[in-house]
Structure formats: C-alpha cells, structure tokens
Amino acid sequence: MIAKPTVSDLGVDPAAQVWHRSGHGDGAIEVAFVRVGGARSAASANAPASADTPALGSADTPAPGSADTPAPALASADAQEWVLMRVAGDPEQRVLVFDRHEWECFLDGARNGEFDDAAAGP
C-alpha cells in the first residue's frame, strides 16, 4: 500500500490556495483543489485553481486518472488533482489530503445520506 501524501509531500503552500468555505467563522469546513505534477510542474500546485473550476461537488468536475491509479502519482506525465480540507480556526492548521476518487466517494455518501445519523446528534 502506498502512503497518502501530506501537503508538504505535494509541495503545496496552503496559504496560496483558493479555499471554498462551508460557512462562517471558526469550525467552518474549507476545501481547496490543487493539481500537482505533469507539464505544469509541482510549483503550479501553489497557483490557485482557475475561475472556471466547477463548484464544490459539481457533477461536471472532471476526475483525472482512474480509481485504479495508485496515489501519489507525483512523477507521472499527467497532473493529478488533490483535494485539501481544513477546519477554519484550527490552531494546529491541520490540512487533510484526499485524492479525487476519495473526494467523489465522500460527496456521494453525503448526497445519499450516509452521514445523516451523525449529524442528528445524541
């Protein structure tokens, strides 16, 4: 099994990303989309996604590579898209890294109510 990369492994500067927020204030979930590798080089991971990037969870969002492609594919000729997630106000500034397949599975679960019981509370 190949270990999942960290933000440092990807060479990504979280401060240079365009973050999409789920709400306001501390505790809001923030998500950023980055491409690493390929013709654009790892340095392009610090450039924000273009304005034509589809909305968070959009069905039109392309899924580069396939689910069978091992992660990370940093040395491949094609750029790989990663999804970064953090919680606003986290004093440790932790950032989670998901490959595109993991992100699509998460969105599918959310759309299908897999987390509804957890959201209902005790």
Q: Which helix (H) or strand (E) holds 100?
A: helix 100-111
Q: What is the pLDDT of residues 77-87, one digit of tens each?
A: 567 899 999 99
Higher pLDDT: 52 or 19? It is: 19
Q: What is the pLDDT of residues 3-50, one digit of tens each?
A: 889 999 999 999 999 999 999 999 999 999 999 986 544 444 455 544
Residue 109: per-residue pLDDT: 95
User: Residue 74: which pLDDT band, with cuts at 50, 70 and 90?
Assistant: very low
Residue 52: per-residue pLDDT: 42
In the sheet that holds 20-21, the strands lie side by side as: 20-21, 29-36, 80-87, 96-99
Cα 108 to Cα 4, 60, 67, 99, 112, distances in angstroms = 21, 14, 15, 14, 6
Residue 6: per-residue pLDDT: 94
Residue 98: per-residue pLDDT: 96
Model pTM? 0.65
Residue 117: per-residue pLDDT: 87
Residue 8: per-residue pLDDT: 94
List b or e across 33-51, with b for residues whose CB sees 16 or more CB atoms inside 10 angstroms: bbbbbbeeeeebbbeeeee
